[in-house]
Structure 1
Amino acid sequence: MATPCWQVEEFVVSAECFQCNAFQLRSWPVCNPTGYVEKINCGKSKKDEYKSCRSVAVEEGLFWKFEGTVLCLTVVFALLVILRQRALDRRASEKVRRQLESV
């Protein structure tokens, strides 16, 4: 297969990133990596081709999902640290109380 013109030439995006439909997903190999393509026009050869791309909306959704997960894990682990600290404080208080009782 020939090298796509956008890998060896300057190009201009003529149609922004859009989602491939079911037919395009089956018939266009360029749709397979991400499910999104953009139409480009190569400078020297004047060819129109399609190039796989990433959707900004999908990437933003994944980012916020990641941020939410990190926030939830932060809260869970902060609660675990607080509970562990309370248990250790209780254990230390019991130890001090037992030492005072034995005197």
Structure 2
Amino acid sequence: MIESCTQKRMLLAITILGGLTLLVLVLESHLTAGNSRNHATAVKNVTSDCILREEFSVVEPCHPCTDFEITSRSIGACLPSHFKEVLKCSKTGTTVVRSCDKVTWLEERNFWLFEGLMFALGLVSSTVVYARQKILDHRMLRRIQRQLASGV
């Protein structure tokens, strides 16, 4: 079945599938952007329990801890996930640091970097395969021409 497809049809099918994949990824990122999964971490990593009793606001969103904070263990919230967010309780005004999930923009950047590298690798691979096929076709033509010239 796949052998009967022309090169144009295969390229069109791959382009459509790639576009569909990108559409699904964009839709998924927009639909899940409203979920505040980063703020719903386990409370056992929190040094103060004012966020359990009071309203709080996010002073600094989830971001990676520095290497110094991780190795020195100066901030206990950096140990479980190596990410932290700073919260401020509304009534008492205390500032609390708690552990959070991975940073969304960092994960997206890594994903798109991976996708770009895989696309470049695919282009290089397909170029090498195309060039190799041309070389093999040319060798086959020369062999056939030699056989016809020798009268076989």
Q: TM-score, normalised by structure 2?
A: 0.47
Task: Figure out how many residues of one structure are paired with residues of the other and give that number.
Answer: 90
* Residue type at the aligned position of 1:53: D
Q: Which residue of 1 aligns with 2:101?
A: 53
Residues 69 and 75, structure 2, Cα contact 8 Å, conserved in 1:
yes
User: Do the aligned partners of residues 23 and 78 (structure 1) sit closer, same or farther apart at CA in structure 2, a change above 3 Å counting?
Assistant: closer
User: Do the aligned partners of residues 22 and 89 (structure 1) sit closer, same or farther apart at CA in structure 2, a change above 3 Å counting?
Assistant: closer
Larger relative strand fraction: 1
Aligned identity (percent) is 30
Larger relative helix fraction: 2
Q: Which residue of 1 aligns with 2:83?
A: 36
Structure 2: runs of 5 or more not aligned: 1-41, 46-51, 88-95
Q: Deviations over 1:14-72 (max 9, x none)?
A: 534134356643312431455321368xxxxxxx7722421111111101110110011
* Match runs of 1:8-87 below 5 Å: 15=58, 16-21=61-66, 24-25=69-70, 26=72, 27-32=74-79, 34-38=81-85, 50-87=98-135
Secondary structure of the equivalent of 2:106?
helix
Q: 1:77 deviation in Å?
A: 0.2
Q: TM-score, normalised by structure 1?
A: 0.66
**Higher relative contact order (CA closer than 8 Å, sequence separation 6+):** 1
CA RMSD of aligned residues (A): 3.0
Structure 1 position 96 matched with structure 2 position 144: yes
